[in-house]
Amino acid sequence: MTAQIISGTEIAKEIREELKREIAELKEKKELVPGLATVLVGDDPASQVYVGQKEKTCLSLGIYSERYDLPAGIGQEELLTLIQRLNNSPNIHGILVQLPLPKQLKEDEVLYAIDPKKDVDGFHPVNVGKLMIGEPDFLPCTPYGIQQILIRSGVKTDGAEVVVVGRSNIVGKPIANIMLQKKEGANATVTVCHTATRDIAFHTRRADILIVAAGRPKAITADMVKEGAVVIDVGVNRIGKTASGKGILVGDVDFDAVKEKAKAITPVPGGVGPMTITMLMLNTVRAAKLAAGLD
């Protein structure tokens, strides 16, 4: 068996085309322009790339965007003042503070200062709580992207054994809670494995759907995967460079070996990654509609 390769790139493209049409309709019929503000503190190269990609995506979809590049030495109060100004701006429906922040800043305090109605990352405790009870305004972007990959690939989740490897607040915990909900693309039996799990392979071999966000390259090998499982690889690990100097990226799953055993698998790159920014845009449009009483 050779697995179906699930292209997050293609699914993201499909969703963006849907969003582009919806945004055009909101502008034409409701005079509503969704707006996203991105806040970047410092000059971390990877963060600059991510924020640039978000800006470019906003432009391509017709979303209004504001970008704030702040010095690495900015104080807590100055950053919180900016967030409060964005909270009060009628043109901004979503606020994204690019992480990580410099060490002198209190990350939790900054994220909690964002109006939950503009928290399009889905990290505010109010939105985390709404996710827990099954009434979310916004789902965290990467887990939301994983769910959309499953739905749009026709993967049956109802009653499925889902095993999540990793318990981060960004991926592991939220995707586990999403898959537990009694809703479309969920309604699964969920097991979460982590660094204290005694025998991870025992659990992963039971998975109909295996979602891996372990943060370690090729941590999941073929002997840890059930024949015919669907494998979603969230990991992005740099393990060196090619002869031409290009970075080599691999996931948390041993892709070449596991694809011979799985029914379907996401690649790295080109799997979950492209979905994250797309779901951020979807959340921004939803925030605009909620603010206008349209959703």
Tokens read off for 282: 């979807």
The question of whether 53 is a catalytic residue gets the answer no
The question of whether 183 is a catalytic residue gets the answer no
For residues 171 and 169, give the distance between their C-alpha atoms in angstroms, rounded to a whole number: 6
List 54, 226, 259, 261, catalytic entry: 54
The question of whether 29 is a catalytic residue gets the answer no
- Per DSSP (E only), the strands in 71-206 are 94-97, 161-165, 189-193
Q: Which residues of 137-150 are buried (b: 16+ CB within 10 A; e: fewer)?
A: bbbbbbbbbbbbbb
Residues 161 and 191 sit within 8 Å (Cβ to Cβ): yes
List 115, 119, 121, 254, catalytic entry: 121
List 98, 147, 148, 181, catalytic entry: 98
Q: Mapped to the 3 state alphabet, what secondary structure does 23-64 carry?
A: HHHHHHHHCCCCEEEEEEECCCHHHHHHHHHHHHHHHHHCCE
Strand (E) or helix (H) holding 65: strand 64-70
Helix axes 8-30, 273-291, angle to 10 degrees: 20
Q: Are strands 4-5 and 264-265 parallel, antiparallel or unpaired?
A: parallel
**DSSP result, 220-288:** B-GGGS-TT-EEEE---EEEEE-TTSPEEEE-SB-HHHHTTT-SEE--SSSSSHHHHHHHHHHHHHHHH
Angle ∠(50,26,59) on CA atoms, nearest 5: 25
Positions annotated as catalytic residues are 54, 98, 121
